[in-house]
């Protein structure tokens, strides 16, 4: 009897250990990945396309048998670009759907809202679809991927002051974690590197529908260039309203504005708009991009190839590489370690990803300037290594 009890006890203990050892979201045949995206709200263009890009990679990988025999299943919920909804969704993904990792979570304010929760639950927040600098310095569970808005704004400020010899620069920014990241970095860069200050700091809210007061303030400041820390909806309308009052500065902003939608919405008013690109254009040459175009044609034929879906596509591609490296024994720790093992890795587009140590910024900080010419985004400069800029 006593022996029996001991055996039962041991079994229970072992069972417990075994349960603990198996990560949430990983079985012999499957890995479940979660994403919180805006599919129906203000930045739905990004959300829908990021999901399509990620799905394209996973579909191709699954069709070829998965990663180490495991198929990848992506569960995406719509947070409508609203932080409280993002939190509800994250809880649902972690606690009910038992996801392995969160991936490609969209939006700075929304991802910031779920940051502490994911940290508490020790669910890695991989390649969130926000390039705020916070993802590059918030510990091991948060892994950013491309050049941050802060870094990009540094590039913008240097370009305006050094190349264009513009000294009167204004900032037009979204009044939330997203807009402030670049806004504050630009302020620091102006001050420390160029001994300058913004001539005007004009904010807007995501729900704003009229920018004429912002346009008036910018015009009054006499700024020759306006840095737009915005997404694709705002630069066209700001430009229209500035032009309406006879004000034509250089408009320039970070990567979220570099999408086809900006041109579709703004038409002639966004001719000459400049932006920073942190990964190649979907039309650029390269084996990786060929694969991307083929996958999109096959798995998302209704969507045109665009910066937005390429963004999701490259995230998924790097993640698959990390899972390959993690091997058959897949745990959250092993996949995080695998990501850190990526160094000088080029998926096939001439730009390299590299992690390591405290560097949680995936691709080699690359950025280049682009502009709208004849209704198309074209490159102005070459790829540059961006220096890290703090917010101080």
Q: Are 101 and 94 in contact (CB under 8 A)?
A: no
Verify binding: residue 244, other proteins, rule CB under 8 A: yes
Asked whether position 138 contacts other proteins by CB under 8 A, the answer is no
Q: Which of residues 245-284 bind other proteins (CB under 8 A)?
A: 245-246, 261, 264-265, 267, 269
Among 175, 224, 284, 346, binds other proteins (CB under 8 A): 175
Binding map of other proteins across residues 356-375, x = CB under 8 A, - = no contact: --------------------
> CA 287 from chain center: how many Å?
23
Question: What one-character DSSP code corresponds to residue 232?
Answer: T
Provide the residue count of the chain. 392
| Residue position matching structure tokens 């007061």 | 213
Helices (H), the chain: 2-21, 44-63, 83-91, 108-121, 149-158, 177-194, 212-221, 234-244, 260-266, 287-299, 307-326, 332-340
Looking at the Cβ atoms of 33 and 270, the one nearer to other proteins is 270
Q: How many helices, marked H, and strands, marked E, lie in the chain?
A: 12, 13
Three-class DSSP category at 274: strand
Work out whether 24 is an interface residue with other proteins (CB under 8 A): no
Beta carbon nearer to other proteins, 107 or 367: 107
**Looking at residue 43, what DSSP letter applies?**
T
- Position 44 contacts other proteins (CB under 8 A): yes
Asked if 257 contacts 239 with a C-beta cutoff of 8 angstroms, the reply is: no
The two three-digit tokens of residue 283, written as one number:
């039309």
Applying CB under 8 A, does 233 fall inside the site for other proteins?
yes
From candidates 4, 207, 301, 392, binder to other proteins by CB under 8 A = 207
Per-residue CA distances from 259 to 80, 152, 167, 378, 381 (Å): 19, 16, 28, 11, 18
Backbone angles phi, psi at 123, to 5 degrees: -100, 115
Q: Is residue 209 a contact point for other proteins (CB under 8 A)? A: yes
Task: Select the span of 2-10, 24-32, 183-191, 238-246 touching other proteins (CB under 8 A).
Answer: 238-246
Verify binding: residue 45, other proteins, rule CB under 8 A: yes
Q: Which of 31, 32, 35, 48 binds other proteins (CB under 8 A)?
A: 48
CA distance 188 to 195: 9
> Is the Cβ–Cβ distance between 306 and 282 less than 8 Å?
yes
Rounded to the nearest whole angstrom, what is the least distance from the CB of residue 336 to other proteins in the complex? 33
Interface region with other proteins, contact rule CB under 8 A, candidates 112-120, 197-205, 284-292, 352-360: 197-205
Binding other proteins by CB under 8 A: which of 198, 204, 292, 311? 204
Number of amino acids touching other proteins (CB under 8 A): 37
Contact between 79 and other proteins per CB under 8 A: no
The answer to the question of residue 42 lying near other proteins (CB under 8 A) is yes
| Contact positions vs other proteins (CB under 8 A) | 39-42, 44-45, 48, 175, 202-205, 207-210, 212-214, 216-217, 219-220, 232-233, 237, 240-241, 243-246, 261, 264-265, 267, 269
């Amino acid at each position: 009897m006593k022996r029996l009890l001991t055996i039962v006890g041991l079994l229970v203990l072992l069972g417990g250990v075994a349960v603990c050892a198996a990560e949430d979201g990983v079985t012999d045949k499957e890995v479940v990945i979660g994403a919180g995206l805006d599919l129906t709200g203000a930045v739905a263009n990004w959300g829908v396309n990021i999901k399509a890009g990620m799905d394209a990679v996973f579909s191709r990988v699954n069709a070829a048998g998965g990663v180490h025999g495991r198929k990848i299943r992506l569960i995406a919920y719509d947070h409508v670009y609203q932080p409280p909804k993002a939190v509800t969704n994250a809880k649902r993904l972690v606690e009910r759907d038992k996801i392995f990792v969160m991936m490609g979570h969209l939006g700075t304010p929304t991802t910031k809202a779920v940051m502490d929760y994911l940290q508490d639950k020790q669910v890695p927040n991989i390649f969130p679809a926000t390039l705020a600098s916070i993802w590059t310095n918030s510990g091991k569970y948060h892994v950013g991927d491309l050049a941050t808005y802060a870094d990009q704004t540094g590039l913008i400020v240097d370009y305006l002051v050094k190349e264009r010899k513009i000294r009167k620069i204004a900032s037009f920014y979204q009044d939330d974690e997203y807009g402030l990241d670049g806004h504050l970095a630009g302020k620091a860069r102006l001050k420390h590197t160029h001994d300058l200050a913004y001539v005007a700091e004009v904010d807007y809210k995501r729900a704003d529908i009229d920018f004429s007061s912002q346009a008036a303030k910018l015009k009054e400041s006499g700024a020759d260039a306006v840095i737009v820390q915005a997404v694709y909806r705002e630069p066209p309308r700001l430009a229209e309203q500035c032009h309406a009052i006879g004000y034509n500065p250089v408009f320039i902003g970070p990567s979220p504005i570099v999408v086809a939608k900006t041109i579709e919405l703004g038409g002639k008013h966004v001719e000459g708009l400049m932006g920073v690109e942190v990964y190649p254009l979907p039309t650029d040459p390269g084996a990786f991009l060929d694969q991307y175009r083929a996958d999109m044609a096959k798995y998302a034929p209704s969507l045109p190839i665009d910066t937005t879906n390429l963004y999701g596509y490259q995230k998924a591609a790097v993640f698959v590489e990390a899972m390959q490296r993690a091997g058959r024994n897949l745990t959250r720790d092993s996949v995080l370690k695998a990501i850190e093992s990526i160094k000088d890795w080029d998926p096939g587009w001439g730009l390299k990803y590299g992690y390591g140590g405290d560097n949680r910024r995936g691709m080699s900080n690359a950025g280049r300037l682009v502009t709208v010419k004849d209704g198309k985004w074209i490159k102005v400069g070459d790829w540059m290594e961006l220096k890290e800029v703090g917010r101080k």
